[in-house]
Amino acid sequence: MSFVCLMNKPQVAVVTGSSNGIGKEIALMLARNGFTTYATMRNLTKSSELRIIAEKEVLPLKIVQLDVTDDNSVKNAIKLIIEQSNRLDVLVNNAGYGLSGALEDLNIDEIKSQYETNVFGLIRTTQSVLPIMRKQMSGIIVNISSGLGRFGIATCSAYASTKFAIEGLSESMSYELEPFGIRTIIIEPGVIKTNFIKSTVLAKKSKDPNSPYIQLIKGMKSGMENLVKNAADPQYVAKIVIDALMDKNPKMRYFAGKDIEEIMNIKNKMSDEEFHNMLKQM
Catalytic residues: 159
Give the C-alpha separation, 72 to 81, whole Å: 14
* Strand-strand pairing, 61-65 and 201-202: unpaired
Question: Which residues does residue 188 pair with via DSSP β-bridges, in sequence order?
Answer: 255
Quote the Cα angle for 143-94-262, to 5°: 65
d(CA 27, CA 181): 23
Instruction: Give the number of other Cβ atoms within 10 Å of residue 216's Cβ.
Output: 15
- For residue 259, CA distances in Å to 22, 86, 138, 144, 164 come to 17, 40, 33, 17, 18
Answer whether 126's CB lies under 8 Å from 93's CB: yes
Helix axes 71-85, 121-136, angle to 10 degrees: 30
Residues with Cβ within 8 Å of residue 189, at least 6 apart in sequence: 22, 144, 145, 146, 147, 237, 256, 257, 260
DSSP-derived secondary structure letter, 89: -
Rounded Cα distance between 221 and 77, Å, is: 37
